Chains A and B, each alone.
Chain A
Amino acid sequence: MGHKTFSHAKLTLNSNQLSQGIAGVFLFMAAFLMLGSLVFPTNAKASSVRPPANATINALPENSSPQPAPKATGGFVPGNTLGNRSQTSFWKSVRDGAIGTRDTMQAFPSPLIQSQGQDWRYLRNNYISRYGGWLLIGVTGLIALFYLIRGRIKIKSGRSGAVIPRFSLTQRVVHWFTAVLFILLSISGLILLFGKHLFIPLIGKTAFGVVASASMQSHNLFGPLFIIATLTMFFVFLKGNGFKLVDLKWALKGGGFFGGHASSHRYNFGEKAWFWWAIILGITLSLSGLILEFPWLVGTNMWPLLAGLAHGGAALLMIAFAIGHIYIGTVGMEGSLEGMTRGSVDENWAREHHDLWYQEHNKEATGDHPPAKAQAATSKG
C-alpha cells in the first residue's frame, strides 16, 4: 500500500516536470516550423494525404490476436472508463421511445427509435388494406347476389303519375355536392391504398407515379371541402333522422327487402343509419384528414400514425355503406333516384316505402294545399 502511494507521488512530480518540458519542446518546434516555412516554401503537390507504400496501415500487426479482456476484479464489470455499468435499462428506455435532444433542425421531435411505426405498418398492411379490400369486394358481391335474386324493386302498383315533394333544392344541392366530393375522394384514396397492387402490374411504376401524385394532390385539395360538405349535410338532413320505435320494427322485418311490408316515416331505419354513419365517419375522416394534411398541427408523430389508421378504416367503412346506398338509390329500386334529382317522388312509391310519411303528407295536403300544387311547391325549392 505504502509503495503504491509513494510511486503515485513520484509520478505526479514527474508529470509536472514533464509537462513543462513538453511545452518547451512544442514551442521550439513551432518556431522551427515557422522559420522553415519561410525559408523553404512547401510544395503542395509533393505532399500526399495517402500513406507511403511501406507504411504500417493497421494499428495492430497482422496475425496478432485481439487484446485479452482485462480480468474482472472485485465483482465489478471489468474496465475503468465512463459507462462501467450495465446499460440495459438505458437502452430499454431508448427502445420505449425516449426523446432526446439535438442541435440540428428537424420537423418533429422524433425519438431515437419509434417502435410505433412498426405497429402502424402491421395494422395498415395487414388489416386496413387486406380486410378493407375484402370488405369492399364482399359488399359488392353481396349486393350483386341480392340483385340477381331479388332484382330491381319495382313500384308494385305502378306509377300513379301524381308526385309529392321529397327533397328541397337546398337538400339536393348539398347532397350532390357531398356525393361528388365523396366519389372523387374515394377513388383517389382507393388508388393510394390499392393502386400499388392493382395498377403497377398493369401500367408500370412511372405511369402509376403520375396517377398517384394526381390522386394525392386532388385528395388534399378537395378533402377540406368535404369537411364543409359533411357539416352542411348534418344540418340540412338532421330533421327527421332521429331514431324512433318504428325503426326497430323496420329493422326486425329486414326493411321489407326479403318480402313483407315495413312501414316507416320520412326516412326509414336504413336511411337514418346511413345518415348517422356518414356523419360520424365523415367527422372522423375530417379530423384525421386534417392531421394527415397538416401534421405540424399536432406536435408528436403519434397523432399522424393514429390518424392514418383511423382515416383508412373510416373511409373503407363509409365506402362499403355508400356502395349499398348508391345501389338502392339507382338500379336497386324503381322511383327512388328522382327524389334526389327532380326533388319529388311518385305517390305510389311513397305509399309503398314510406307509408307513415305519405299519410302525414296527405293529411297536411288535404288540410292546406290540394295535391296538384305539390309539384309547384317542389320546384320552388
Chain B
Amino acid sequence: MARMKFLCDAERCIECNACVTACKNENEVPWGINRRRVVTINDGKPGERSISVACMHCSDAPCMAVCPVDCFYQTDDGVVLHSKDLCIGCGYCFYACPFGAPQFPQASNFGSRGKMDKCTFCAGGPEKDNSAVEFQKYGRNRLAEGKLPLGAEMCATKALLAGDGDKVADTYRERVVSRGFGSGAWGWGRAYPGQSGG
C-alpha cells in the first residue's frame, strides 16, 4: 500500500491559487470554505515564499487524537478522513491541527459551527465510493477513480505534489539535487546574507 502524501515545493509555488480554485470546483465545497489555502511569507519582499497548504494527512493526526466523538479514521493509504454524520462541530480539531486544515461553515446566524469540512486528499468519505451522497458530503472520490488530488494535478509549476510518499520524495530529491540548494546549509543565511552566484 502506498502512503499518500502532499508536498509543496516552496521554490516553485507562484501563488496562483489554482489549487484552491481547482479543489473548490472539483469538490463543490460549500460557500465560504476553502479546503486549501496559499500562504505567502514575506509578501513583496526579497526571499518571498508561497506555500499551498491543506490537510497533510498526518501519521499521528492531532485531529484524531482530540476529537471528542472519534469521527476521524485513517485509510490504508494514510489518508485522514472523517464522518460528517458523527462530527458535532466542536472545533477541537481546528485548535489541534498544525496546518489549520479543518474548516467550519457557519450553521446559523447566531454563529454556531456546522459540520467540519476539510481536504480529503480527493478520497471522499465513509459512504460508498463515488455515490451521490458521498459527493454531496465530502466531494469527489478521485482516488477511487484511480486519480490523484486535483489541486496537485492542476498545479502549473508542479509545485504541489501529491501521491505515493516514496515517489513524491524521489521527485523532490531529484529537484534538490539539480538545484543544488535549499537543502539546509545551516547558518549560511545568517552568516553570508544576500550572497548569490556560483
- Closest chain B residue to A81, Cβ basis: B179
Cβ contact within 8 Å between B180 and A78 = yes
B65 within 8 A of A: yes
Among A87-137, those with CB < 8 Å from B are 87-90, 93-94, 98, 100-108, 110-115, 117-118, 120-121, 124-125
Distance of A173 from chain B, by nearest CB (Å): 28
Distance of A109 from chain B, by nearest CB (Å): 10
A208 within 8 A of B: yes
Q: A208-B69, A209-B71 are in contact. Are A85 and B40 (CB under 8 A)?
A: no
Chain B window 52-83, contacts with chain A (Cβ cutoff 8 Å), 1 for yes, 0 for no: 01000000001001111111000000000001
A296 within 8 A of B: yes
Which of A77, A105, A195 is the most central at the interface, judged by chain B CB atoms within 10 Å of its CB?
A77
Distance of A310 from chain B, by nearest CB (Å): 13
CB neighbours (8 Å) of B67 from chain A are: 196
A180 within 8 A of B: no
Chain A window 37-80, contacts with chain B (Cβ cutoff 8 Å), 1 for yes, 0 for no: 00000000000000000000000000000110110111011111
CB neighbours (8 Å) of B190 from chain A are: 86, 88-89
Cβ contact within 8 Å between B95 and A304 = yes
B111 within 8 A of A: yes
A181 within 8 A of B: no
Cβ contact within 8 Å between A85 and B98 = no
Among B161-198, those with CB < 8 Å from A are 174, 177-182, 184-190, 192-198
Among A178-223, those with CB < 8 Å from B are 192-193, 195-196, 200, 205-206, 208-209, 212-213, 216, 220
A305 within 8 A of B: yes
Cβ contact within 8 Å between A294 and B111 = yes
Residue among B41, B90, B177, B186 making CB contact with A216, cutoff 8 Å: B90
Residue among B37, B181, B193 making CB contact with A83, cutoff 8 Å: B181
Which of A106, A115, A305 is the most central at the interface, judged by chain B CB atoms within 10 Å of its CB?
A106
Q: How far is the CA of A118 from the CA of B83 in the complex (A)?
A: 23
CB neighbours (8 Å) of B70 from chain A are: 196, 200, 205
- Interface size on A, as a range, is 35 or more
Distance of B148 from chain A, by nearest CB (Å): 16
Cβ contact within 8 Å between A94 and B41 = yes
Chain B window 30-55, contacts with chain A (Cβ cutoff 8 Å), 1 for yes, 0 for no: 00101001111111000101110100
A295 within 8 A of B: yes
Residue among A104, A113, A115, A308 making CB contact with B38, cutoff 8 Å: A104
Residue among B11, B96, B198 making CB contact with A117, cutoff 8 Å: B96
Q: A125-B66, A304-B91 are in contact. Are A205 and B86 (CB under 8 A)?
A: yes
A160 within 8 A of B: no
CB neighbours (8 Å) of A305 from chain B are: 95
Cβ contact within 8 Å between B90 and A209 = no
Distance of B103 from chain A, by nearest CB (Å): 8
- Closest chain B residue to A82, Cβ basis: B11
Q: A112-B53, A206-B86, A216-B90 are in contact. Are A80 and B197 (CB under 8 A)?
A: yes
Q: How far is the CA of A115 from the CA of B42 in the complex (A)?
A: 20
Cβ contact within 8 Å between B88 and A216 = yes
CB neighbours (8 Å) of B104 from chain A are: 107
Cβ contact within 8 Å between A76 and B195 = yes
Q: How far is the CA of A212 from the CA of B92 in the complex (A)?
A: 13
Closest 8 CB pairs of A and B: A86-B188, A110-B100, A76-B198, A78-B180, A100-B39, A86-B189, A209-B86, A79-B180
What is the interface of chain A, defined by CB distance below 8 A to chain B? 66-67, 69-70, 72-74, 76-90, 93-94, 98, 100-108, 110-115, 117-118, 120-121, 124-125, 192-193, 195-196, 200, 205-206, 208-209, 212-213, 216, 220, 292, 294-296, 301, 304-305, 308
> Can you list 24 A-B contacts (CB < 8 A)?
A66-B178, A70-B180, A76-B195, A79-B179, A80-B196, A83-B47, A83-B182, A84-B198, A85-B192, A85-B196, A86-B189, A87-B189, A98-B41, A100-B43, A101-B39, A106-B34, A108-B100, A112-B53, A193-B68, A195-B68, A196-B70, A205-B70, A205-B86, A209-B85
Given contacts A112-B53, A118-B96, 14 further A-B contacts (CB under 8 A): A76-B196, A77-B185, A79-B198, A84-B196, A90-B49, A103-B17, A104-B17, A107-B104, A113-B98, A120-B96, A205-B83, A206-B85, A206-B86, A304-B91
